[in-house]
Amino acid sequence: MPELPEVELTRRRLEPDLVGKRIERVEARIPKLRLPIPGELATVLPGRTIRSVGRRGKYLLFDCEAGWLIVHLGMTGFLRFLAEPAQPGKHDHLDICLGAGSVLRFHDPRRFGTVAWTTDAPAGHPLLAGIGPEPFTAAFDGDYLFKVSRSRRVAVKQLIMNGATVAGVGNIYANEALFRAAIRPDRPASSLTPRECERLALAVREVLEESIDQGSTYRVAEETVAYHPLAFTVYGRGKERCTRCNGALEGIRLGNRSTVYCPRCQR
Per annotation, catalytic residue among 11, 21, 56, 58:
58
Catalytic residue status for 2 = yes
Burial, 169: exposed, middle or buried (Cβ in 10 Å; 0-12, 13-18, 19+)?
A: buried
Per annotation, catalytic residue among 3, 6, 134, 176:
3
Which of 206, 179, 154, 143 has the alpha carbon at shortest distance from 267? 179
Radius of gyration over every alpha carbon of the chain, rounded to an integer in angstroms: 20
Per annotation, catalytic residue among 2, 5, 109, 185:
2
Work out the end-to-end distance of the chain between its first and last CA atoms, rounded to an integer number of angstroms.
Answer: 28
- Gap between the Cα atoms of 45 and 75, Å rounded: 26
Catalytic residue status for 3 = yes
Catalytic residue status for 80 = no
Catalytic residue status for 38 = no
Per annotation, catalytic residue among 48, 51, 110, 257:
257
Active site residues: 2-3, 58, 257
